[in-house]
Structure 1
Amino acid sequence: MAQAAFEDVVEDFEFLEDWEDRYRMVIEMGKAMDPLPEALRVPATKVDGCASQVWLHPRIEGGHFHFDGDSDAMIVRGLIAVLHRLYDGLPVAEVPAVDAKAELARLGLEENLSAQRSNGLRAMIQRIRLLAAEAA
Structure 2
Amino acid sequence: MTLKEKQLEIVEEFAFLEDWEQKYEYIIDLGKELKGLPEDKKTDGNLIRGCQSQVWIDASFEQGKLYFDADSDGILPKGIISLLVSIYSGHTTQEILDSDFDFISQIGLQEFLSPSRANGLMAMTKQIKFYAVAFQLKK
Range into which the TM-score falls when normalised by the shorter chain: over 0.9
- Map residues 72-91 of structure 1 onto 2, 5 A cutoff: 72-91=73-92
Cα deviation for residue 44 of structure 1 reads: 1.0
CA distance in 2, matches of 1:34, 1:132: 22
CA distance in 2, matches of 1:17, 1:106: 15
Give the equivalent residue in structure 1 for 2:129: 129
CA contact (8 A) 2:61 2:135 kept: yes
Cα deviation for residue 9 of structure 1 reads: 2.4
Two-structure CA RMSD over aligned residues (Å): 1.3
Deviations 1:103-126 (A, max 9, x none): 211211011100011000001111
Deviations 1:37-73 (A, max 9, x none): 0010011111111111010000111111110001000
Structure 1, 82-91 or 28-37: larger mean CA deviation: 82-91
Identity among equivalent positions (%) equals 36
The answer to whether residue 110 in structure 2 is matched with residue 110 in structure 1 is yes
Give the equivalent residue in structure 2 for 1:40: 41
What amino acid is aligned across from residue 86 of structure 1 in structure 2?
I
What amino acid is aligned across from residue 135 of structure 2 in structure 1?
A
What amino acid is aligned across from residue 70 of structure 1 in structure 2?
D
What amino acid is aligned across from residue 91 of structure 1 in structure 2?
T
Could you say what secondary structure the match of 2:67 adopts? strand
Structure 1, 109-118 or 8-17: larger mean CA deviation: 8-17
TM-score between the two structures when normalised by the length of structure 2: 0.91
CA distance in 1, matches of 2:103, 2:3: 7
Cα deviation for residue 10 of structure 1 reads: 2.0
Gaps of 5+ in 2: none
CA distance in 2, matches of 1:103, 1:6: 6
TM-score between the two structures when normalised by the length of structure 1: 0.93
Cα deviation for residue 3 of structure 1 reads: 4.4
CA distance in 1, matches of 2:107, 2:3: 12
CA distance in 2, matches of 1:94, 1:2: 7
